[in-house]
Structure 1
Amino acid sequence: MSPGTTRKPADSLDDDDYPAYTVGRAADMLGTTPAFLRALGEARLITPLRSEGGHRRYSRYQLRIAARVRELVDQGTAIESACRIVILEDQLAEAQKINQQLRDDQSASR
Structure 2
Amino acid sequence: MTADDSFGRLDDDDYPAYTMGRAADMLGTTQGFLRAVGEARLITPLRSAGGHRRYSRYQLRIAARARELVDQGTPIEAACRIVILEDQLEEARRINEEHRARNESRHNADA
Q: TM-score, normalised by structure 2?
A: 0.90
1:1-110 superposed matches below 5 A:
8-110=5-107
Residue segments in structure 2 that go unaligned for 5+ positions in a row: none
The 10-residue stretch of structure 1 (10-19 or 44-53) with the greater mean CA deviation from structure 2: 10-19
Over the aligned positions, Cα root-mean-square deviation in angstroms equals: 1.1
Q: Deviations over 1:19-63 (max 9, x none)?
A: 111100100110100000000110011000001110000000000
Deviating beyond 4 angstroms after TM superposition, the runs of 4 or more aligned structure 1 residues are: none
Q: TM-score, normalised by structure 1?
A: 0.91
Q: 1:99 Cα deviation (Å)?
A: 0.7
Percent of aligned pairs sharing the same letter: 74
User: Whole-Å Cα distance in 2 between the matches of residues 102 and 22 of structure 1?
Assistant: 39
User: Whole-Å Cα distance in 2 between the matches of residues 13 and 46 of structure 1?
Assistant: 19
Max radius of gyration: which structure?
Answer: 2
Residue segments in structure 1 that go unaligned for 5+ positions in a row: 1-6
Q: 1:10 Cα deviation (Å)?
A: 3.5
Q: 1:105 Cα deviation (Å)?
A: 0.5
Amino acid at match of 2:20: V
User: Whole-Å Cα distance in 1 between the matches of residues 41 and 12 of structure 2?
Assistant: 22
Q: 1:14 Cα deviation (Å)?
A: 1.1
User: Whole-Å Cα distance in 1 between the matches of residues 32 and 100 of structure 2?
Assistant: 43
Q: 1:8 Cα deviation (Å)?
A: 2.9
Higher helix fraction (1 or 2): 2
SS, match of residue 104 in structure 2: helix
